[in-house]
Structure 1
């Protein structure tokens, strides 16, 4: 499948490429951004290269991966990635300057719509640090329901899911 660009009223989400490496390095090494990402660890340049390569591969083979979110400038990332053996997890990160403007909701909504409408995934999952209350609230606003708490490196992780269905994601499609 070819990589897809997603657009919303205010945002453009474009698949990550090797040319985006410096942008991702600067973004994902910002302490406020990585607080709830990567268990607080700073990614190395090699890990970022690997993430981009993996994303390009999954866009080719499965139609999804890592998107960069832009308005007139870069404001963050969103994507789908495997969550253990459950299925695909929605994830996102925004620059601190773009927090509290509805961008995370808008981008995540576009990715979830793409997951259900284009990829025909049966479910989308989310996992957030228990302390990341803003992301937990966002996932619930996006129609995901909390279903488990699992141990994480830095404390409990809350797991959410939303099924593809006609009743808003409460009943799995059979």
Structure 2
């Protein structure tokens, strides 16, 4: 899997040594406020998350990248493209999803937008994917704004996990020419 660089970030393969960062990320109730599932409690659980992501690399050739600040080399979260083929969302499976999650102290600095923009460009320019999808809970206004600034458009709302979600899509315009 390729690494990506932006002016402030390195997006690289998730490594087993990222387990403390994943634990910090997924044990924070505020970070997971709009995400279904349980908070992580142990490094072993975090290692399981990383193993799942690394399995996606092997099976699908793509998965979420670790997001690292170039100036400090610190792990600040994850971002990237994922082939959703092992569960259904909005009644769909086998689609490419863009997603991101950052440690709270890195919110509001444009890092999620920067990483997502690079991931979207990679999906369209390198992978030549015909379209990208994303989901965000309706109340997650910050995430919805990021997706809309990236040019994804809200197609529908759906109910899942006892919450209302937006379903977003963006077509690869370069493939339509």
Give 3-state SS (helix, strand or coil) of 1:151's partner.
Answer: strand
Which residue is equivalent to 1:159? 167
Give 3-state SS (helix, strand or coil) of 1:88's partner.
Answer: strand
Deviations 1:63-119 (A, max 9, x none): 311211111122211122215325111111111111111111000011111111111
Alpha-carbon separation, structure 1, partners of 2:96 and 2:109? 26
For normalisation by structure 2, the TM-score amounts to 0.85
Which residue is equivalent to 1:91? 99
Deviations 1:36-80 (A, max 9, x none): 22x152135455333322322322343311211111122211122
**Do the aligned partners of 1:69 and 1:77 also contact (CA within 8 Å) in 2?**
yes
Q: 1:35 is matched with which residue: 17, 33, 42?
A: 33
**Do the aligned partners of 1:59 and 1:65 also contact (CA within 8 Å) in 2?**
yes
Which residue is equivalent to 1:19? 17
Alpha-carbon separation, structure 1, partners of 2:107 and 2:12? 20
Which consecutive unaligned segments of at least 5 residues does structure 1 have? Answer: 167-171
- 2:133 is the counterpart of 1:119: no
Cα RMSD for the two superposed structures: 2.0
- 2:75 is the counterpart of 1:74: yes
Give 3-state SS (helix, strand or coil) of 1:32's partner.
Answer: coil
**Do the aligned partners of 1:16 and 1:66 also contact (CA within 8 Å) in 2?**
yes
Alpha-carbon separation, structure 1, partners of 2:117 and 2:154? 17
**Do the aligned partners of 2:25 and 2:77 also contact (CA within 8 Å) in 1?**
yes
**Do the aligned partners of 1:88 and 1:123 also contact (CA within 8 Å) in 2?**
yes
Compared CA separation, residues 74 and 40, structure 1 to 2 (3 A): same
Give 3-state SS (helix, strand or coil) of 1:80's partner.
Answer: strand
| Range 50-59 or range 95-104, more displaced | 50-59
- 2:52 is the counterpart of 1:51: no
